[in-house]
Amino acid sequence: MSIQSVEAERTVLGSLLLDGELMKECRLTEEHFSVTMHRALFKLMRQIDGDGDPLDLITLVSKLDSAFLEQIGGIVYFVNIMESVPTTANFSHYERLVRNSWKMRHAIRMAQNMNEQLLIDKDEKIIGKTISALSELENTEDTFDFELKDALIRLYEDLNKDTGELTGIDTGFKRLNEITCGLQEEEFIVIGARPSMGKTAFALNLALHAAKSGTAVGIFSLEMSEKQLIKRMISCIGNVPAKKLRNPKHLFSIPDWQQTSQALAEIGTLPLEIYDRAGVTTQDIWMQVRKLKRKHPGKKLLVVIDYLQLITGDSKYRGNRMQEIGEISRKLKLMARDLNVCVVALSQLSRGVESRQDKRPLLSDLRETGQIEQDADVIMLMYREDYYDRETENKEVTEIHVAKQRNGPIGTVRLRFVREYGKFVGMKK
């Protein structure tokens, strides 16, 4: 099967001969052309422009080999393609047609290569790599259209919207809402903590508050099973002790059963989905989030990932963990922006925290790479003093330090962690 756009290619070449200055804004390369002769001509045109010579018919013909010129029919060939151009004002449209045809040809080749590799290697990972490559191909755009007046009108309309105190997704905590104005769409938010600080419980609290307020939520649990997470939700929503949920048949009282039933009924109404398959890649997450968006049109969407270091990276890095995590971080940020969703990813902190007298975490404690710190729009660091000092007066107190916020202030929020129910409760400043 061959997909070509021969006429569009001819029109692009003719337009360039009529107005050589168009080459300055042309984003095509010779590979985008399907016809060998067109590729050769475009390559020569690009070379002429690069040398600083005027790109016109006279210059082009002077650079051509006489045998080649005779082969294509002489100067008449160029006169014909120039006359076939309706108007150079539509150059970007002709360019787009050529590029779209190239995309389709490229996609066919990738699919054929996948088929051949599957028959030889019989490795299902080939499917994921091909899907990732196709997704990148789909998102490749040849131009970026921008109209300042339209942008100003959109901004003015946003300024006149009454969004109350919140512009983003409700966190469920007044002080955290004051600092962040809610969890914003298009933002990549990282929650960093050492193990056993309660970061999964905190993320689950955020997810439940968001879902209750009508936000669609997708939780990617790479460490805990779906059953474990739902038990935590029951405990949090129904005030059912987590210890009793381990063996309810023997430990539950009648009120416990009633509260569990009510919690299950409430959870069943929430726009919330859990994906607990281990070993997922960023591409797996991207595909599932697209599906979730289609399922909940018009809703804000919160994506929670527990946790970032458990995402399977690209094998091309061959064990270079720093590059692997850096690539994962970049892709999660791109997903947040391209799909217009809020991505909250949990992240482990390095052991360097333990060697300091003050155990409060710093941005530099984010494990493996500074890329996470660079990509994240918001970074929250969790700290519990009673984890290190059991005699402290600040028992059950968790500090949520907003250590970075690209579009807002930083600050610290104090929450009380009710361990029995895995629930966080706001405290006075």
Could you please report the per-residue DSSP string of 179-219?
HHSSBPTT-EEEEEE-TTSSHHHHHHHHHHHHHHTT-EEEE
Average pLDDT (79-99) is: 89
Among 192, 177, 10, 183, residue whose Cα is nearest residue 94? 10
The answer to whether residue 360 scores a pLDDT higher than 90 is no
Percent share of the chain, pLDDT over 90: 21
In tens, the pLDDT along 180-200 reads: 999 999 999 999 988 888 889
Average pLDDT (287-299) is: 88
- Give pLDDT, residue 244: 87
| Dihedral (Cα; 214, 406, 314, 109), 10-degree rounding | 80
Task: Give residue 14's pLDDT band: very low, low, confident or very high (50, 70, 90).
Answer: very high
Mean pLDDT of the chain: 84
Is residue 218 within 8 Å of residue 275, measured between CB atoms?
A: yes
Burial of 210 by CB count in 10 Å (0-12 exposed, 13-18 middle, 19+ buried)? Answer: buried
What are the sequence ranges of the domains in the chain?
6-138, 158-426
- Give pLDDT, residue 253: 86
Tokens representing 196?
A: 């056993």
Residue 413: its H or E element: strand 411-418
Domain 6-138 has CATH 3.40.50.300: no
Is 158-426 the same fold as 6-138? no
| Annotation: CATH topology of 158-426 | Rossmann fold (3.40.50)
